[in-house]
Chains A and B, each alone.
Chain A
């Protein structure tokens, strides 16, 4: 054991530490004040986030099992940032819940799993991390214990994720059969592009597509998102998806680099179909959570489009977009969760006349939706532009054109919500809500992120500077 490992595994270790502290607190059983517990956890997460910018080291651990690079550290930090926001937002819903500690134990375990998954350099560790990050999620989505829909969501999630894991494993085993190794570093030299390897690539791709809810493997998403508590839905749609996207980029750009001609077409077509289908489904949704679920599918399609660039530009725009996406989606989910926790209303029609009673919440939701739709001057505009620009690198303008025109379709349904908020008349609009301080802080972070990340180009340049080394 080398002391360097302490620095290399910094983020994993600190999350583990927080988990242990929580466990001890739980065992000693002297938690009687939920809000101080929240503050404690949020401070931990914030410290972890700040710490993530310092003392970063690049290197390989455990005989090539795990690694850390500046880009990976940044990705972990982005995820950490998202978890911090979600934790701040969860207070509204969790403050009266009996099992707060359990919620955080499960949440942080999934986070730990994601960190391992992102840092893995070996399919074994990758798979372990993946499972650690998905199984607690099923428990989390069942966290509204008395709601039937919540258990249904958990059941759907566990079955679909088990199914996709099985598919992934199947692909990995075939890959192992043809190459004789499961190490990311050794595999590329054994990849010859034989038929079996192409088949296993496709199967692994499908497994990833399941997790990313890319079309045609998206059908589980809407039900799970609708049934889960809002905080968990936000977590599923932003954090979990972002983490999978990160490891997907690494896998494609390092392990399967030599098979780029095979996966490029699959990726491109998948992305465009995902964008179209996600849009078409989102058009008709009336429940905001389902609506956001389908818009998530569309956004995933755009990220896949950017990844297809197969260049540092692709990586940088995807990572940048995920950061932007965290801010914008969590902004939208935050407002939805305040309204849902306080009034139980989740339909678009319920938001009619919302601006009259809750101007600030309405503006937050509007800005977030504009960012999701890619309207300047929000960061979403820049994120989308760079993704589409990365997708156009290869000169495939027809598909890029379809993707660009789909932004118009998506604008239609985002504007439907805006229209309900500002224009439609309502006899009994949602009453005036006062959200707790932590939620206000979270929404403030989201909105300032949406406005500032785009205008200040330094953030993109910062991400870009790490992107050459995936």
Chain B
């Protein structure tokens, strides 16, 4: 059974099936059906994976599929999953499904909109599934250009500028990734004497330390741009805030995770020695992103900008967890990716719902929404509380794991970075509570708000799905933790082997 390629083919077929429908109502139903099938498949994958692991299968990657593609360069269509990729695939299927539900009322060029949205998810699924560097790069770039059109056509505000900025910066990042991939390729040795792109075989080899010193920063920075690493984070606020709701959800929820996953799987996993050497730089950049993102959020007046800057801050935790190079911190990084993906998707969705009704996103203009649209207000409150790390919700679990993992490094530098990271949580609490308090609570100042209608069925359903996911991670973190831990462990093995070599 070719489960993994099915996971790529289903969204691909969905996106092209959409093109055959004219009526927006049919289009969105097709898109939803495709996303629902995909979600079911993701759970089937999770179930089968758990079964295999419980049955004692300790292979690094399961359900592998490989077909030769460009055999002259040893490029293969090579798919496989471990716990980390399954977590990311589940996240993607959640965000895409709910994104479609939240865009239910898109009428303008609906066909193109849903086509691009689903096509974008092909890139994300492919990226998380592929085990061939070329294939990864292919899917990484595949997931960039549709964003340009999504933001530029259906966005709001200075959308053309934001779309262009976002795409150029992300493509700049992927250009760095390209060089890094070529560098890894030309330093690898395949079984037939040529070079290889096969990620698993390369991980067993030893890339010369001189090459690692050059290509690790390139790979990490390149993927880091996707994760909004400081100082290449500037695309994120503009892009997020101009994008239509579903695209914002996708951008913050999945696209930024492409970078984190790449940093982990390509940069750190394949070049462990360099990861050791550069870890302090990574930590410094990540800490700056956390602190800077948090303080920048304090200054924002627009709800979308608030969430966008806080995404920069939260994704800093992902990079911090990777940079700390302990097993717990890495698990925390992956947890944070999933948690932030779900949380930020919910946050953007709630902002989108508010914006659709009140036609403003400015905190100062809002107020008293809890009285007129209680459901949406509750949703945005849950998202906000998750963002500030309230126990019982997913954010707490993830951030706590990162901090515990970071603290395991017993020297002053790592401790200071950890403490600084922890302190940002206070700032987070300030901006989240202030923004939500002002916009959701308090008296209704604008008469227009008295006639707002609360969430419709599609919005309620989608919000419920995301809230369940947040609670599932927050209240019962062990299942996700157990899923991820064996694989972060194997990444750590690679790193500690390199550490001994030093």
Contacts and interface: CB of A to CB of B under 8 A. Distances in A.
A222 B357 CA distance: 52
Interface of B is mostly: helix
B290 to A, nearest CB: 28
Interface in A64-107: none
Interface of A is mostly: helix
Given A376-B141, A386-B73, A419-B160, A408 B149 contact: no
B164 A461 contact: no
A424 B164 CA distance: 13
Nearest to B123: A376
A376 B160 CA distance: 22
A392 B186 contact: yes
Interface string B181-202: 0110110000000000000000
Interface string A372-393: 0001110001100110110011
A408 B172 contact: yes
Nearest to B72: A464
A457 B138 CA distance: 14
Interface in B44-79: 69-73, 75
A5 interface: no
Given A400-B182, A415-B148, A389 B73 contact: yes
Contacts of A177: none
Nearest to B144: A375
A388 B179 CA distance: 9
A95 B187 CA distance: 56
A316 interface: yes
Contact of B182 (A389, A412, A461): A389
B182 A381 contact: no
Contact of A423 (B71, B152, B214): B152
B179 A400 contact: yes
Contact of A376 (B70, B72, B138, B179): B138
Interface in B167-185: 167-168, 171-172, 175-176, 178-179, 182-183, 185
A208 to B, nearest CB: 27
B164 A419 contact: yes
B441 interface: no
B431 interface: no
Contact of B175 (A381, A404, A419): A404
Interface in A400-423: 400-401, 404-405, 407-408, 411-412, 415, 418-419, 422-423
Contacts of A393: 186
A397 B142 contact: no
B167 A415 contact: yes
B3 interface: no
B171 A423 contact: no
Contacts of B163: 419, 423
Interface in B140-162: 141-142, 144-145, 148-149, 152-153, 159-160
Contact of A418 (B138, B148, B171, B218): B148
A460 B75 CA distance: 12
A370 interface: yes
Given A393-B186, A411-B167, A464-B72, A388 B178 contact: yes
Interface in A321-350: none
Contact of B214 (A376, A386, A397, A461): A397
B226 interface: no
Given A397-B214, A461-B72, A408 B134 contact: no
A381 B141 contact: yes
A395 B186 contact: yes
Contact of B178 (A385, A423, A461): A385
B361 to A, nearest CB: 21
Nearest to A313: B72
Interface in B61-111: 69-73, 75
Contacts of A385: 134, 137, 178
A412 B168 contact: yes
Contacts of B137: 385
Contacts of B168: 408, 411-412
Contacts of B175: 401, 404-405, 407-408
Contacts of B214: 397
B164 A415 contact: yes
Most B CB within 10 A of own CB, among A313, A370, A415: A415
Contacts of B176: 401, 404
A409 to B, nearest CB: 8
Contacts of B69: 457
A419 B157 CA distance: 16
A386 B73 CA distance: 9
A418 B218 CA distance: 29
Contacts of A461: 70-72
B433 to A, nearest CB: 38
Contacts of B138: 376-377, 381
Interface in B403-450: none
The 8 closest A-B pairs by CB, nearest first: A404-B175, A392-B182, A423-B152, A457-B70, A408-B171, A376-B142, A408-B172, A464-B72
24 contacts: A316-B72, A375-B141, A375-B145, A385-B134, A385-B137, A388-B182, A389-B73, A389-B185, A392-B179, A392-B182, A393-B186, A397-B182, A397-B214, A404-B176, A407-B175, A408-B168, A408-B172, A411-B168, A411-B171, A412-B168, A415-B164, A418-B148, A423-B159, A460-B72
Given A411-B167, A461-B71, 18 more contacts: A316-B72, A377-B138, A389-B182, A392-B182, A397-B179, A400-B179, A401-B175, A401-B176, A408-B171, A408-B172, A415-B148, A415-B164, A419-B163, A422-B149, A422-B152, A423-B160, A460-B72, A461-B70
